[in-house]
């Protein structure tokens, strides 16, 4: 009897272990040591005794080299980390020189941070199959920063992977393994994080919360990651008891000055503030008749003694009847040259709002006397949440490499030639086991970090790296197939959601499904999809040409003329800049209606193709990951069909032309599906 019981206990515990084992792989993000090296490694380092990163470096190396021994004398070391000030490697650069066949490894850096990045780079190169390499690397951007939209109450704005990893119940709380978070970031070079939402709760600056933030900073410091806070411009009034938050008021200035002193006493390496002001109803300097520059510079002066930085967002959005795409440029261009040298203007990649495809924001290149940086979005607010496979590196590269024609620079160059450089993205993390809600969504976090370090990497290179570190024993053929799906995935999403420059057709507040018909009685038309697509019996598209809102004027020649002329305008932006009749003919002889339908259907066909390709990988990928992606692709296909059908059936009411394929849903079914909320059910933590 006793024995039998014992037997049962063992069986149960083994069974419960199985799902745990399979989850562990994605819980570790891309930090798996699938194959450890047998090489005997004697490790010598001359890192300064107080270098916090030394322990991290040792742990990472000991985790990979099974026979790892730390030694005190340099001569006998076949692995050395040497801090050498003469090498001109900068504060974060490193040089690598290794040969796994000869069992010699050398990382040289000027700083412990450089040695840390060198260590991660070495492990990445080896895991990706390199046996020898000599190279020098320095990051392109100084500040490589994640923006978490986490709220003190524990929720995450536009988060699709559970709750906040930082907060619970209005307190700082560690709801995930922060060491894994820090390792993941450091491994790709991310060196900064804004832990709270840009729609900032003034409470974030309360002394009690700051004590919690100090704990976060301590956990991240060994990984060379600095903490920043998004702050609410009316904090002096909201938590300081002042009557005003006017940036030119003496008491307000004192309040911020003292707050900064308090912060830096707790967190000496605190990064600075991120500010969303006078946008979407948030307070800001304009409430007091001041400018963005007045507000930003006041904060900059309070941070300056501590080398802190202000990231001031150019995402200013107040529906006011004009063309929303023009607003940021109109508000910020007159202020060019008026910002302090520790202010950097954070600009979303597109002029509207993280859409599947937008032209670049015309502020890039135009603001010549102001430091600027890009803000991308990793969380897939407008791209199918964490259910759609949508590898964003292709989208980000399209943006970074776009020629602005200002000083002959592409977009990334306009953000690099300045004293302070930075690159940011809204994170997709949450408390879910796999951090991002979908293993494929992890690749976007990875890709952001790698591009922030080196924007010249190609999406394919990055995909290959990530695949090798994520999928166990992956062979080259399988790797090629996965990367092929990844590389084509974003275009597929654009096709089945918003082709030809259409934008913001998604649900009014949750931004999930298709809602081109959306109108909310009493709500302003210019927040709504119909404002953006302007479909009517006479055609579709937003006229931003010189005969319309003239947003084209904000671009430098020859872009301005190119975008302005429907014959020259790139097809992918045609309905962004032009309102065209349904029977408008493209040069290939197809009408606008046919072309639109063709794109919508192509997007769906692509997802079917992804499914077919994925099926060929069945025996090449561990079952848990194979199944996860298969399940998600089913959802994606269904939602792609929903998007396609909802849009073409609605637009058909105006075009009155035939749809050249069979739809799966009726328009009514598409509308009803929005209310089923099955998404909400699926995402339960």
Return the number of the residue (109 or 230) whose C-beta is nearest ligand BDP: 230
With respect to ligand BDP, which residue has the nearer C-beta, 511 or 579? 511
Cα–Cα distance for residue pair 440/632, rounded to 1 Å: 10
Q: How far is the CB of 193 from ligand BDP (least distance, A)?
A: 17
Select from 157, 168, 287, 553 the one that contacts ligand BDP (CB under 6 A): 157
Binding mask 331-370 for ligand BDP (x = CB under 6 A): ----------------------xx----------------
Beta pairing class for 309-313 and 343-348 = parallel
C-alpha of 165 from chain center? 16
- Scored b (16 or more CB within 10 A) or e, 74-107 reads eeebbbbbbbeeebebbebbbbbbbebeeeebbb
- Give yes or no: 477 in active site: no
Q: Which of residues 198-227 bind ligand BDP (CB under 6 A)?
A: 198-199
Instruction: Specify the residue, 379 or 404, whose C-beta has the smaller distance to ligand BDP.
Output: 379
Closer residue to ligand BDP in complex, CB, 381/387: 381
- Helix, strand, or coil (residue 553): helix
Nearer to ligand BDP, 158 or 560 (CB): 158
Q: How far is the CB of 303 from ligand BDP (least distance, A)?
A: 21
Q: How many CB atoms lie within 10 A of CB 623?
A: 11
**Out of 381, 413, 465, 594, which one is annotated catalytic?**
381
Smallest gap from residue 282 Cβ to ligand BDP (A): 8
In the residue annotation, 280 being an active-site residue is answered as yes
User: How many angstroms separate the CA atoms of 610 and 435, rounded?
Assistant: 24
> Residue 299 interacts with ligand BDP (CB under 6 A)?
no
- In angstroms, the CA 320 to CA 525 distance is 10
Kindly identify the residues of this chain, within the stretch 260-279, that bind ligand BDP according to CB under 6 A. Answer: 276
Q: From its phi and psi, is residue 579 left (phi > 0), alpha (psi between -120 and 50) or beta?
A: beta
The distance of closest approach from Cβ of residue 358 to ligand BDP in the complex, given in angstroms and rounded to an integer, is 12
Q: Is 542 exposed, middle or buried, given 0-12, 13-18 or 19+ CB atoms closer than 10 A? A: buried
Q: Min. distance of Cβ 251 from ligand BDP in angstroms? A: 28
Compute the radius of gyration of the chain from its Cα atoms.
26
Query: Measured from the CB of residue 462, what is the shortest distance to ligand BDP in angstroms?
Result: 25
Catalytic residue among 353, 375, 413, 495: 353
Q: How many residues does the chain have?
A: 685
Q: At what angle do helices 112-127 and 53-64 cross, to 10 degrees?
A: 20
Give the residue nearest to ligand BDP (CB): 353
Q: How many residues bind ligand BDP (CB under 6 A)?
A: 9
Query: Cα-flanking dihedrals φ and ψ of residue 535, to 5°?
Result: -70, 135
Q: What is the DSSP letter of 222?
A: G
Q: Which is nearer to ligand BDP, 107 or 311 (CB)?
A: 311
Min separation Cβ 523 and ligand BDP, Å = 15
Continuous segment of H or E residues that includes residue 613: helix 592-615
Q: Does 233 bind ligand BDP (CB under 6 A)?
A: no
Residue 315 engages ligand BDP in binding (rule: CB under 6 A): yes
Give the residue with the Cβ less far from ligand BDP, 199 or 630.
199
Token couple for 601? 């259907």
State the burial class of residue 15 (Cβ atoms within 10 Å of its Cβ: 0-12, 13-18, 19+).
Answer: exposed
Pick the closer one to ligand BDP by CB: 79 or 360: 360
Residues 367 and 333: beta-carbon distance below 8 Å: yes
For β-strands 94-99 and 104-109, DSSP reports them as antiparallel
Q: Compute the least distance from the CB of residue 197 to ligand BDP, in Å.
A: 7
Catalytic residue selected from 84, 280, 330, 538: 280
Transcribe 170-196 into DSSP letters.
TEE---S-HHHHHHHHHHHT--EEE-S
**What residues between 366 and 395 interact with ligand BDP by CB under 6 A?**
381
User: Cα–Cα distance between 43 and 61 in angstroms, integer?
Assistant: 9
Query: First vs last Cα of the chain: how many Å apart?
Result: 40
List residues binding ligand BDP (CB under 6 A): 157-158, 198-199, 276, 315, 353-354, 381
State the catalytic residues. 280, 353, 381
């Amino acid at each position: 009897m006793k024995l039998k019981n014992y037997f049962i206990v063992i069986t149960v515990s083994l069974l419960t272990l199985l799902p745990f084992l399979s989850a562990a792989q994605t819980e570790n993000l891309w930090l798996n040591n699938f194959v450890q090296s047998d090489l005997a490694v004697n490790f010598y380092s001359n890192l300064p005794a107080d270098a916090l990163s030394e322990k991290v470096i040792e742990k990472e190396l000991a985790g990979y080299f099974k026979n790892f021994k730390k030694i005190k004398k340099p001569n006998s070391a076949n692995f050395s980390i040497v801090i050498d000030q003469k090498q001109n490697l900068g504060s974060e650069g490193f040089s690598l020189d290794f040969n796994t066949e000869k069992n010699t490894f050398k990382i040289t850096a000027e700083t412990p941070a450089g040695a840390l990045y060198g260590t991660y780079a070495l492990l990445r190169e080896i895991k990706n199959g390199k046996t020898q390499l000599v190279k020098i690397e320095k990051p392109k951007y100084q500040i490589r920063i994640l923006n978490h939209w986490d709220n003190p109450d524990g929720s995450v704005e536009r988060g699709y992977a559970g709750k906040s990893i930082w907060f619970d119940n209005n307190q700082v709380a560690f709801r995930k393994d922060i060491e894994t978070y820090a390792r993941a970031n450091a491994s790709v070079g991310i060196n900064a994080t804004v832990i709270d939402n840009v729609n900032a709760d003034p409470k974030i600056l309360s002394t009690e919360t700051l004590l919690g933030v100090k704990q976060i900073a301590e956990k991240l410091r060994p990984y060379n990651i600095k903490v920043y806070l998004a702050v609410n411009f009316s904090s002096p009034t909201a938590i300081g008891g002042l009557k005003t938050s006017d940036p030119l008021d003496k008491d307000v200035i004192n309040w911020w000055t003292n707050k900064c002193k308090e912060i830096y006493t707790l967190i000496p390496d605190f990064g600075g503030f991120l500010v969303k002001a006078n946008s979407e109803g948030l307070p800001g300097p304009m409430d007091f008749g001041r400018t963005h520059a007045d507000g930003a510079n006041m904060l900059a002066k309070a941070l300056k003694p501590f080398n802190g930085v202000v990231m001031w967002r150019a995402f200013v959005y107040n529906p006011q009847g004009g063309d929303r795409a023009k607003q940021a440029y109109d508000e910020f261009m007159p202020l060019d040259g008026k910002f302090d040298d520790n202010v950097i203007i954070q600009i979303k990649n597109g002029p509207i709002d993280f859409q599947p495809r937008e032209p670049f924001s015309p502020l890039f290149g135009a603001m010549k006397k102001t430091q600027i940086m890009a803000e991308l979005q990793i969380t897939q607010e407008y791209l199918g949440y964490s259910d759609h496979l949508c590898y964003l590196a292709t989208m980000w590269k399209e943006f970074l490499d776009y020629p602005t024609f200002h000083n002959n620079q592409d977009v990334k160059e306009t953000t690099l030639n300045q004293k302070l450089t930075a690159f940011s993205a809204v994170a997709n993390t949450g408390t879910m086991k796999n951090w991002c809600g979908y293993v494929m969504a992890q690749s976007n976090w990875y890709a952001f970090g790698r591009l922030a370090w080196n924007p010249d990497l190609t999406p394919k290179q990055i995909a290959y790296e990530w695949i090798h570190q994520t999928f166990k024993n992956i062979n080259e053929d399988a790797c090629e197939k996965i990367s092929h799906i990844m590389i084509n995935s974003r275009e597929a999403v654009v096709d089945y959601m918003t082709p030809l420059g259409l934008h913001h057709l998604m649900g009014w507040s949750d931004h999930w499904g298709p809602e081109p018909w959306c109108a909310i009685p009493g709500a302003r038309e210019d927040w709504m999809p119909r404002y953006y697509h302007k479909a009517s019996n006479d055609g579709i598209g937003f006229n931003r040409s010189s005969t319309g809102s003239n947003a084209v004027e904000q671009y430098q020649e020859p872009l301005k003329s190119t975008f302005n002329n429907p014959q020259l305008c790139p097809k992918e932006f045609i309905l962004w800049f032009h309102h065209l009749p349904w029977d408008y003919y493209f040069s290939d002889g197809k009408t606008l209606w046919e072309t639109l339908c063709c794109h919508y259907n192509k997007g769906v066909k692509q997802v079917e193709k992804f499914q077919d390709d994925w099926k060929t990988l069945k025996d090449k990928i561990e079952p848990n990951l194979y199944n996860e992606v298969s399940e998600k692709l089913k959802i994606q296909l269904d939602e792609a069909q929903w998007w396609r059908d909802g849009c073409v059936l609605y637009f058909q009411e105006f075009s009155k032309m035939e749809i050249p394929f069979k739809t799966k849903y009726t328009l009514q079914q598409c509308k009803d599906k929005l209310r089923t909320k099955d998404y909400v059910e699926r995402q339960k933590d």
